[in-house]
Amino acid sequence: MTPRRDVDQRIADATLDLLRTRGPRGVTVEAVTARSGVAKTTIYRRYKDRREMLSAALERLAPTEPPGADTDPRELLRWVIGHAVEAVDAGIGFGGFAALLTDEDPEFTEVFRRILAGQRAALEQVIEDSWAGVDAATLIDALVGAYTAERARTGTVADGWEARLFDLFWPVVGSA
């Protein structure tokens, strides 16, 4: 990794870590400086403000390449379940998710919804291409909702969560 890429990665990692743990209001240039060890002047050379820094970090949350067309339908559903929550789980975390729901930080909400729309569209396309009779948007909403409810109910997402959802949704999706 080049020195510039290393610095960019440290800034993005610190930004996302702060977002996950403190929400978007916790993402300030000062906090990123403290967390990343990158000088404030270096950050400002790369980003004009907090919003641009947050946008750049969120842009790194690109969707994973979908499995091939020859993937077994059961494995494909497991992949969909795992990736439906990826933007929350591996991306903004529950701190960012809570801020999104409450619109605590409208700048963050706007940026994240734009990025989420692209990721979601790619996932919806996989579902639509694989199961013509399945309402892709509703399936994704149900998966994200189940994930969120489990976290709200227990404080964590238990092992076996994906397997339980697979068992619940396979009879419907598999018959489509």
Return the CATH number at 24. Answer: 1.10.10.60
| Residues 85, 36 share a domain | no
111-146 per-position pLDDT tens digit: 888 878 888 888 899 999 999 889 999 999 999 999
Secondary structure element (H or E) that encloses residue 81, with its range: helix 73-84
d(CA 162, CA 35): 32
Is there a domain that residue 29 lies in?
Answer: yes
Residue for token digits 């149900």?
142
Is there a domain that residue 67 lies in?
Answer: no
Domain total in the chain: 2
Half-sphere exposure of 173 (CA within 13 A, CB side): 28
| Residues 40, 89 share a domain | no
| Residues 80, 143 share a domain | yes
pLDDT at 1: 66
Q: Find the domain containing 159 and state its range.
A: 73-174
Is there a domain that residue 95 lies in?
Answer: yes
Is there a domain that residue 64 lies in?
Answer: no
pLDDT at 11: 96
| Residues 42, 122 share a domain | no
- Tell whether the model's pLDDT for residue 64 goes beyond 80: no
| Residues 161, 136 share a domain | yes
pLDDT at 91: 77
Is there a domain that residue 66 lies in?
Answer: no
